[in-house]
């Protein structure tokens, strides 16, 4: 059965995509907060900061948002969240069932989808397939922007110069790689990335909020990146700490911006 396509015009479709996305890109050349990494900690931070009225751009190098959350534990699409983060499951309306005292299980697909939807509802603008390859630090010694390129350019090893996006503050939510922290360290900023330790979920989860902090003027670190910087242990498919770390990063960023 056919339906009325109202004379679908390919050129108009292309114009709509190019003009609206270029407008967004121009708008986000100066943003309040650039969250780098769309895993659970970055999504949580972005959603909560968007809710507080900041102009938040989320930059994700992959095609899909969600980072290490989609895969659950070894591709079994379930995540475990502990009691202290239960209120965030509720906040984002993520269905969860108790497993035993203090442990809740949720679908990783639902968790990523609901966090992403919350960020969209909070006005966060997503730039996927953008890779952050450098940061801007001027004479005042403060991070003031990101140097970005298309991920396919990076993958193909093409010699194409990047563009820049300015921000008042950036959140490194790039997971195990702690990309922004390593960039600042490599270029002589006073940051030391100690690298993550062995799997030790209890210890890694209990320390993550201490490690979630502004590690350099204009750079807040959260999620697994925070543990990697601190030389802290890793924790596997338990995600309470990621949600709480994203929330804590949002609190730190909003108080820094409101000063
Ligand atoms: O790894 P990821 O999910 O970070 P997270 O929020 O959560 C960690 C957990 O998934 C898990 C764990 C939990 O217990 O240990 O691993 O700390 O998401 C990081 C995101 O950052 C993106 C990457 O593709 C991923 O989606 N990313 C990494 N490097 C860049 C980047 C880059 N240079 N530019 C933009 N995005």
User: For 172-194, what is the mean pLDDT?
Assistant: 96
Residue of the CA atom closest to atom 11 of ligand 1: 68
* Position 99 confidence tier, pLDDT thresholds 50, 70, 90: very high
> What's the token pair of residue 130?
């953008």
130: helix, strand or coil? strand
What distance in Å separates the CA atoms of residue 254 and residue 162, rounded to the nearest whole number? 29
C-beta separation of 167 from 32 below 8 A? yes
Measured distance CA(199)–CA(95) in Å, rounded: 27
Q: Which of 35, 43, 59, 61 to mutate to test the pocket of ligand 1 (most atoms within 8 A of CB)?
A: 61
All structural domains of the chain = 32-257 (3.50.50.60)
For ligand 1, what atom is nearest to the CA of residue 133? 33
Over the chain, what is the mean pLDDT? 96
Going by C-alpha positions, the residue among 247, 65, 67, 55 that lies closest to residue 169 is: 55
Whether the predicted pLDDT of 96 surpasses 80: yes
| Prediction pTM value | 0.97
Residue from 174, 197, 208 whose mutation best tests the ligand 1 pocket (most atoms within 8 A of CB): 174
Measuring CA to CA, which residue among 230, 217, 229 is closest to residue 256? Answer: 217
């Amino acid at each position: 059965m056919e339906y009325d396509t109202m004379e679908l015009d390919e050129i108009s479709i292309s114009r709509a995509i190019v003009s609206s996305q270029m407008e967004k890109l121009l708008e986000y050349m100066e943003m309040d907060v650039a969250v780098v990494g769309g895993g659970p900690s970055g999504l949580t931070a972005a959603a909560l900061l968007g809710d507080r009225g900041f102009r938040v751009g989320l930059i994700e190098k992959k095609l899909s948002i969600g980072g290490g959350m989609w895969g659950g534990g070894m591709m079994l699409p379930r995540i475990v969240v502990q009691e202290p983060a239960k209120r965030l499951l509720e906040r984002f309306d993520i269905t969860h069932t108790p497993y035993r005292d203090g442990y809740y299980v949720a679908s990783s697909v639902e968790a990523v989808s609901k966090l992403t939807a919350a960020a969209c509802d909070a006005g966060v603008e997503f730039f996927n397939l953008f890779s952050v390859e450098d940061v801007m630090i001027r004479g005042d010694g403060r991070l003031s922007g990101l140097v970005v390129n298309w991920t396919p350019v990076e993958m193909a090893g093409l010699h194409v110069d990047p563009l820049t996006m300015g921000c008042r503050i950036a959140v490194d939510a790039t997971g195990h790689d702690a990309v922004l922290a390593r960039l600042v360290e490599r270029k002589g900023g006073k940051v030391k990335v100690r690298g993550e330790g062995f799997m030790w979920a209890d210890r890694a989860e209990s320390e993550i909020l201490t490690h979630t902090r502004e590690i350099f003027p204009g750079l807040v670190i959260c999620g697994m990146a925070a543990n990697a910087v601190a030389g802290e242990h890793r924790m596997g498919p338990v995600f309470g700490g990621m949600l709480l770390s994203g929330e804590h990063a949002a609190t730190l960023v909003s108080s820094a911006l409101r000063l």
